[in-house]
Structure 1
């Protein structure tokens, strides 16, 4: 009787797993972009890691456009698929990369679109770099600034990003996909982001926003914040178009 072949991670697999652990997880479409390979290659890797007991793969419906094709590897043949497939590491595997117990985690429909945007922005800016000095993920920041009572001690950015032109500077990253309405929520959110960046002596905050309407809203709040501080404009807050940045990702990679 022959035994099953030993499972061995390739260096590329290790880098993808570490990146995935830092970003919580990713859709298989994002995995394909990270690998810079075909959809078939991404599904093949996901299947290989899943069969080795290293990752979970689940279908997540958060209203993203289809049509969706059933996966022979991951879908029940009796259920019509809705939404993209997501891959995320098992708790003990993520623990090994993060060097702390991340607890049980699984993707949620309510946050999947935002996580996807942040992950794809990271890929656009730094590629598959996993050095936390180059990009410190929200998951790592949340662990770093965890207060004694087990809750985050301050606003948690979507990431920290090392300045290409000046490596001594680090910027907080904020990704906004939709307008925060009511009771000054956008003002409070932006103020908290800027205050946290200043508290940790960062260069400032880079806002990446989706859509012209949201951009105008963020620019308006930034102007109000500048007036409150008695300056013409905030030199430590920049606003960028998210989709334009993603479109020119090859240019922005170091």
Structure 2
């Protein structure tokens, strides 16, 4: 294993897993190189590769290395560490984990944002992944009884500040649901003495909805605006950092 490969393994363990498309971006090489790396890690028992069934043939191609001949793919390939390998990097037993179609889009967005902002840096003081936060914030009963952010990230200009990160891809419909989610994220950041919450949203419509919810929440708290909240466009951020064409 080369040093960059062990760093990548630790990154994968912290992020649960990576789609092959994200793996390609992470290593900065083409799809063939990503596939060869995944094949080697699987062959040596360090990682698993699974096809996530999204219910649609979509743009995915049959893989000679990971699919049966003639099989029509209905979702992307994912790579994730074998449990003992993840345990070694995380320094706790993460339990069994496999990618699910219901969560892969969100996990991919968070991981691409991490790559855009901090690259493959695996120092948890720079970027604390949700997987690490779930371990850190467990109560004495072994349960997570507080809101878990998608990540924490250290401020790039002030090392004494740490921000919570939230990634929102779709509108939370229902009476006050979006406002409650926003309030929970802000309250959890306050309890952990964080600088605030960086809210990354997909699309102009969702951004407007979050801004409206933020304004209403500010008025409920008798302030003009929420000083500990920043709202950013996810795709613009990814494009500016070279993660989108």
TM-score interval (norm. to shorter): over 0.9
Give the superposition deviation at 1:250. Answer: 4.6
Give the superposition deviation at 1:108. Answer: 0.5
C-alpha change, 1:195 and 1:65, in structure 2 (3 Å) is farther
Give the superposition deviation at 1:65. Answer: 7.6
Note the residue ranges of structure 2 that are not aligned, 5 or more in a row.
Answer: none
Q: Does the CA-based 8 Å contact 1:62-1:112 persist in structure 2?
A: no
Q: How many Å separate the matches in 2 of 1:165 and 1:243?
A: 23
Q: Does the CA-based 8 Å contact 1:62-1:113 persist in structure 2?
A: no
* 2:174 alignment partner in structure 1: 182
C-alpha change, 1:41 and 1:176, in structure 2 (3 Å) is same
Q: Does the CA-based 8 Å contact 1:64-1:83 persist in structure 2?
A: yes
* 2:229 alignment partner in structure 1: 237
Say whether 1:96 aligns with 2:74.
no
After TM superposition, the structure 1 = structure 2 runs for residues 28-47 of structure 1, keeping only pairs within 5 Å, are: 28-47=20-39
CA RMSD of aligned residues (A): 1.3
Give the structure-2-normalised TM-score: 0.96
Q: How many Å separate the matches in 1 of 2:9 and 2:137?
A: 24
Q: Give the secondary structure class of the aligned counterpart of 2:211.
A: helix
Q: How many Å separate the matches in 1 of 2:57 and 2:237?
A: 22
* 1:226 alignment partner in structure 2: 218
* 1:53 alignment partner in structure 2: 45
Q: Does the CA-based 8 Å contact 1:136-1:159 persist in structure 2?
A: yes
Say whether 1:62 aligns with 2:45.
no
After TM superposition, the structure 1 = structure 2 runs for residues 13-28 of structure 1, keeping only pairs within 5 Å, are: 13-28=5-20
Say whether 1:115 aligns with 2:69.
no
From 152, 173, 180, the counterpart of 1:160: 152
Q: How many Å separate the matches in 2 of 1:65 and 1:165?
A: 44
* 2:97 alignment partner in structure 1: 105
Q: Give the secondary structure class of the aligned counterpart of 1:87.
A: strand
Q: Does the CA-based 8 Å contact 2:14-2:90 persist in structure 1?
A: yes
Q: Does the CA-based 8 Å contact 2:57-2:74 persist in structure 1?
A: no
Give the superposition deviation at 1:151. Answer: 1.7
C-alpha change, 1:220 and 1:98, in structure 2 (3 Å) is same
Give the structure-1-normalised TM-score: 0.93
Q: How many Å separate the matches in 2 of 1:232 and 1:65?
A: 48
C-alpha change, 1:30 and 1:73, in structure 2 (3 Å) is same
Note the residue ranges of structure 1 that are not aligned, 5 or more in a row.
Answer: 1-8
Q: How many Å separate the matches in 2 of 1:161 and 1:64?
A: 35
From 140, 151, 175, the counterpart of 1:148: 140
Q: How many Å separate the matches in 1 of 2:140 and 2:161?
A: 28
Say whether 1:10 aligns with 2:32.
no
Give the superposition deviation at 1:71. Answer: 0.7
